[in-house]
Chain A
Amino acid sequence: MKLTKGFKIIALAAAASFMVGSFAGCSSKDNTLTEDGKTQIFVGGWPKNEGTDKDNWAARQARFEEANPEFKIVPDYWSFDLKSFYSKAAGGQLPTIYGTNFTEVSQIIAAGYSADITDQLKKDGLYDKFNPDVLKLVSSEDGRVYAFPFATYALGMGFNVDMMEAAGLMEADGTPKQPKDWNEVAEFAVKIKEATGKPGIVLPTANNNGGWIFTPIAWSFGVDFMEQDKDGKWKATFDSPEAVEALQFVKDLKWKYDVLPANSIIDGTEYYKVFGTGGAGMLISAGDMPAKLTQYGMKPDQIGMMAMPKGPKKHVTLTGGSVTVVSNKANEKQIEGALKWTEVLYKPTVSDDMKASSIEGMNLKLERGELVGVKSMSIWNTDTEAVKFTNDLIESKANINMNHVKLYNDFIADMGDCELRPEEPVCAQELYSILDGCIQEILINKDADCAKILKKACNDFQVNYLDNLDY
Chain B
Amino acid sequence: MSSQEYNTVKLKKRTGGKVRIGKEIRAWALLIPSVVLFFLLVWRPTVLGTVWSFFKMDAYTPREFCGFDNYIRVLTHTQFLPTLWNTVQYVLWSLVLGYLPPVIIAVMINEMVHFNNGFRSVIYLPAIIPGIAAMLIWYYIYYPDQTGLLNMLLMKMGMEPYMWLNDPKFAIVGIIIYSTWKGFPGTMILYLAALQSVSSELYEAALLDGAGIWKRAWNVTRPQIEGVMLLNFVNQIIGVFQIMEQPLAMTGGGPNGASVSLSYQLYQYGFNSGGKGTGQAMALGVIIFAILLVMTIFYFRLNKRVESRY
Contact of B60 among A3, A83, A90, A459 (CB under 8 A): A90
B256 lies within 8 A of A15 (CB): no
Contact of B26 among A3, A205, A429 (CB under 8 A): A3
Q: A111-B58, A113-B59, A444-B163 are in contact. Are A11 and B26 (CB under 8 A)?
A: yes
A264 at the interface (CB under 8 A from B): yes
B29 lies within 8 A of A265 (CB): no
B59 lies within 8 A of A262 (CB): no
B79 at the interface (CB under 8 A from A): yes
B9 at the interface (CB under 8 A from A): no
B50 at the interface (CB under 8 A from A): no
B221 at the interface (CB under 8 A from A): no
Cβ–Cβ < 8 Å partners of B255 in chain A:
264-265, 440-441, 443-444
Segment at the B interface, from A41-49, A154-162, A463-471: A463-471
Q: Which of A433-451 contact B (CB under 8 A)?
A: 433, 436-438, 440-441, 443-444
B111 at the interface (CB under 8 A from A): no
A265 lies within 8 A of B252 (CB): yes
Encode B264-277 as 1/0 by CB contact (under 8 A) with A: 00001001111110
CA distance A14 to B29 in the complex (A): 8
Q: Which of B48-76 contact A (CB under 8 A)?
A: 56, 58-61, 69, 73, 76
Q: A86-B59, A206-B254, A264-B255 are in contact. Are A19 and B168 (CB under 8 A)?
A: no
Q: A3-B26, A82-B272, A444-B166 are in contact. Are A263 and B144 (CB under 8 A)?
A: yes
B275 lies within 8 A of A111 (CB): yes
Cβ–Cβ < 8 Å partners of B32 in chain A:
15, 18-19
Q: A11-B26, A90-B61, A463-B78 are in contact. Are A440 and B275 (CB under 8 A)?
A: no
A104 at the interface (CB under 8 A from B): yes
Main secondary structure of the interface of A (DSSP, over half): helix
A471 lies within 8 A of B272 (CB): no
CA distance A166 to B37 in the complex (A): 61
Q: Which of A116-157 contact B (CB under 8 A)?
A: none
A181 at the interface (CB under 8 A from B): no
B96 at the interface (CB under 8 A from A): no
B26 lies within 8 A of A441 (CB): no
B30 lies within 8 A of A265 (CB): no
B210 at the interface (CB under 8 A from A): no
Q: A8-B29, A12-B29, A111-B275 are in contact. Are A471 and B59 (CB under 8 A)?
A: no
Report the nearest B residue to A1, measured CB to CB: B26
CA distance A459 to B79 in the complex (A): 12
Q: A86-B60, A263-B143, A459-B78 are in contact. Are A440 and B256 (CB under 8 A)?
A: yes
Task: Give the residue among B29, B56, B146 with the most A Cβ atoms within 10 A.
Answer: B29
Main secondary structure of the interface of B (DSSP, over half): loop
A90 lies within 8 A of B59 (CB): yes
CA distance A430 to B69 in the complex (A): 20
Report the nearest A residue to B267, measured CB to CB: A83
Encode B127-152 as 1/0 by CB contact (under 8 A) with A: 00000000000000001111000000
B73 lies within 8 A of A264 (CB): no
B179 at the interface (CB under 8 A from A): no
Contact of B167 among A11, A113, A436, A444 (CB under 8 A): A444
B274 lies within 8 A of A206 (CB): no
A87 lies within 8 A of B166 (CB): no
CA distance A262 to B142 in the complex (A): 12
B251 lies within 8 A of A19 (CB): no
B290 at the interface (CB under 8 A from A): no
CA distance A261 to B147 in the complex (A): 12
Smallest Cβ distance from A108 to chain B, in angstroms? 8
Q: A444-B166, A460-B78 are in contact. Are A265 and B251 (CB under 8 A)?
A: yes
Cβ–Cβ < 8 Å partners of A14 in chain B:
33
Cβ–Cβ < 8 Å partners of A264 in chain B:
144, 163, 166, 254-255
Cβ–Cβ < 8 Å partners of A206 in chain B:
252, 254
CA distance A198 to B264 in the complex (A): 34
A267 at the interface (CB under 8 A from B): yes
Smallest Cβ distance from B3 to chain A, in angstroms? 40
B165 at the interface (CB under 8 A from A): yes
A112 at the interface (CB under 8 A from B): yes
Encode A69-87 as 1/0 by CB contact (under 8 A) with B: 0000000000000110011
Q: A18-B33, A82-B272, A110-B274 are in contact. Are A262 and B144 (CB under 8 A)?
A: yes
Q: Which of A235-283 contact B (CB under 8 A)?
A: 261-265, 267
Smallest Cβ distance from B21 to chain A, in angstroms? 14
A207 at the interface (CB under 8 A from B): yes
A15 lies within 8 A of B254 (CB): no
Q: A90-B61, A104-B274, A263-B143 are in contact. Are A440 and B33 (CB under 8 A)?
A: no
A86 lies within 8 A of B275 (CB): yes
Smallest Cβ distance from B192 to chain A, in angstroms? 32
CA distance A15 to B59 in the complex (A): 33
14 example contacts (A-B, Cβ-Cβ < 8 A) are as follows A11-B26, A11-B30, A15-B30, A15-B33, A18-B33, A19-B36, A111-B59, A207-B252, A263-B166, A265-B165, A265-B254, A429-B274, A430-B273, A433-B268
Given known contacts A111-B59, A205-B254, A263-B143, what 17 new A-B pairs fall within 8 Å (CB)?
A11-B26, A18-B33, A19-B36, A82-B274, A86-B271, A87-B60, A90-B60, A91-B60, A264-B163, A264-B254, A264-B255, A265-B255, A437-B257, A441-B256, A443-B255, A444-B166, A464-B79
Closest 10 CB pairs of A and B: A107-B274, A90-B60, A262-B145, A86-B59, A206-B252, A15-B32, A440-B255, A437-B256, A441-B256, A11-B29
- Residues of chain B whose beta carbon lies under 8 Å from any beta carbon of chain A: 26, 29-30, 32-33, 36-37, 40, 56, 58-61, 69, 73, 76-79, 143-146, 161, 163, 165-168, 251-252, 254-257, 268, 271-276, 278
- Residues of chain A whose beta carbon lies under 8 Å from any beta carbon of chain B: 3, 8, 11-12, 14-15, 18-19, 22, 82-83, 86-87, 89-91, 104, 106-107, 110-113, 205-208, 261-265, 267, 429-430, 433, 436-438, 440-441, 443-444, 459-460, 463-464, 468, 471
